[in-house]
Amino acid sequence: MRLEFVTVDVFTRHRFGGNPLAVVLNAAGLSTAQMQSIAGEFNLSETTFVLPPKDPEHTAEVRIFTPRAELPFAGHPNVGTAFALAKRGGIFGQPIGDRLVFEEKAGLVPLDVLKDGAAILGARLTAPQPLSRGDEVAVDIVAAACSIAIDDIETRHHAPSVASCGTAFIFVELKTRRALAAAQPRAEIFSRNLPVGGATGIHLYLPDRADGVDIRARMFAPLHGVPEDPATGSANVALVSLLASLRPETDLSLRLQIAQGVEMGRPSLLDAAAEKRGGQVIAATIGGHCAAVMTGIIDI
């Protein structure tokens, strides 16, 4: 069995920035164990496996694996996979248009291809689930897990807590860029105290408009084999939903430019948006540019 794969850098305009992704284009026939082994071999934050859709009205079934576990939904894998399929022009004998729908564990994920004329630039997804809020997490546990001081954590707007739009994370607002830059994951604290509420990892963020963005963020998920992620679409689409939910306006369109991966030397830029109507967040999207990097074959 010969598997075709491509790699894509996601949430960047340039190769060797953003969040790298491997996409296995013809994964039908692979077992879950084989997919997990291949994802471990790539050793990227995620690898996607593209299978024929269960419903022919959809584009594909997509399964997403970190080096250690399968995820129900993730952002950069969806954006990168949509970009890769759009560049390819078709999959399973069907042409790829400007709108795709992926079948995933968390539900259906609609995506729009971003273009400049005929040039394919990237993609934008709509979260498969509405915002859900989970447990609060003790400030001292979060501080210890991320090697920061308790006083570095901002709690005026919300306590550290779990939220999800398909994949759960612990969201923690910080007070300063210094604290964000100094943070480092401590795997032994994660192992002892986390996950809480099924959270994949801890997403630290800081409102900071100094560099032409709205938010700076970092995400740690050492229990999933991802000490730090350069760009986490599933976390940031939940973050924009969370921030919209906390705003006092009943009706609101919130759009944020989020920088992530800067401290890793993999700068990423994510375009996040949420629509709030009647006091409820009704939709959230995340998108950005991508850059094609490699193509290859795996013989199984």
pLDDT of residue 166: 96
Using alpha carbons, select from 145, 154, 200 the residue that is nearest to residue 177: 154
pLDDT of residue 80: 98
Residue 113 CA to residue 77 CA, distance in Å, equals 14
Domains and CATH numbers, the chain: 2-126+289-299 (3.10.310.10), 132-287 (3.10.310.10)
Using alpha carbons, select from 286, 289, 282, 295 the residue that is nearest to residue 75: 286
**How many H-runs (helices) and E-runs (strands) does the chain carry?**
6, 20
- Catalogue the active-site residues: 46
pLDDT of residue 210: 83
pLDDT of residue 77: 98
pLDDT of residue 48: 98
Residue 148 CA to residue 181 CA, distance in Å, equals 10
Residue type, 72: P
Using alpha carbons, select from 67, 127, 72, 59 the residue that is nearest to residue 104: 72
Query: 78: which 2 tokens?
Result: 């969806």
pTM to 2 decimal places: 0.95
pLDDT of residue 195: 84
The per-residue pLDDT string of the chain (300 residues; one tens digit each, 9 = 90 and over) reads 999 999 999 999 999 999 999 999 999 999 999 999 999 999 999 999 999 999 999 999 999 999 999 999 999 999 999 999 999 999 999 999 999 999 999 999 999 999 999 999 999 999 999 999 999 999 999 999 999 999 999 999 999 999 999 999 999 999 999 999 999 999 999 999 998 889 999 999 999 988 889 999 999 999 999 999 999 999 999 999 999 999 999 999 999 999 999 999 999 999 999 999 999 999 999 999 999 999 999 998
Query: 179: which 2 tokens?
Result: 């604290």
pLDDT of residue 205: 98
Residue 41 CA to residue 54 CA, distance in Å, equals 28
pLDDT of residue 131: 98
pLDDT of residue 299: 95
pLDDT of residue 153: 98
Using alpha carbons, select from 83, 248, 104 the residue that is nearest to residue 165: 104
Specify the residue for token string 């949509």. Answer: 82
> Does the bond joining 128 to the residue before it have cis omega, within 30 degrees of 0?
no
pLDDT of residue 211: 85
